Amino acid sequence: MTVRLIRSIVGLALTSAILAVIMYRLNSPLAAVFELSVCSGLISVIFVTTVSFTQRISNEKLAIRRKERLLRFWYLPIILIAAGVLLSQHLLVPHFSWPVLEPAKELDVRNVLWNARHLDLIGQVVMLLAGALGVVVLFKEPKK
């Protein structure tokens, strides 16, 4: 596996960490802890495991890829600059109006998750079972 791929994965883990700090500042400590432990830790481990099954490519192929990428996607920076210009001239931005909501009876997160949203919990259990079945079906070594 190339160094560039490892850099991308570490970048993803760093993004998750920064996101966890932002979420903690936005009064959501439980979600921040979940995001930090699962996304920064577990995802990196899973990615590195998956990537270790594949092989590295050689250096001249890297150079060819870089040139091809520049040639193939020349239109992307142009679209981005055009969108930025249009937005700054207020041509695309419509009139914002947000509703005024009455303040909710602020229940605790644990209360909401465990008492009011049972269906989501069943959904998470079923999703994990589906994930386990997916791992069993897809990650088996082919018999020679």
Helices 3-25 and 43-51 pack at an angle, to 10 degrees, of: 170
Q: Which residues contact 54 (CB under 8 A, 6 or more apart)?
A: 1
Distances (CA, A) of 11 to 4, 7, 18: 10, 6, 11
**Identified binder of other proteins from the candidate list 78, 91, 92, 104, rule CB under 8 A:** 104
Q: How many residues belong to the site for other proteins (CB under 8 A)?
A: 76
* 40 near other proteins, rule: CB under 8 A: no
Q: Is 1 exposed, middle or buried (0-12, 13-18, 19+ CB in 10 A)?
A: middle
Please state, in angstroms and rounded to a whole number, the distance separating the CA atoms of residues 118 and 53: 39
Shortest gap between Cβ of 10 and other proteins (angstroms)? 11
* 26 near other proteins, rule: CB under 8 A: yes
* 3 near other proteins, rule: CB under 8 A: no
Shortest gap between Cβ of 107 and other proteins (angstroms)? 5
Task: Report the chain's C-alpha Rg in angstroms.
Answer: 23
* 88 near other proteins, rule: CB under 8 A: no
Shortest gap between Cβ of 85 and other proteins (angstroms)? 15
Of residues 122 through 141, those in contact with other proteins by CB under 8 A are 122-131, 133-139
* 69 near other proteins, rule: CB under 8 A: yes
* 85 near other proteins, rule: CB under 8 A: no
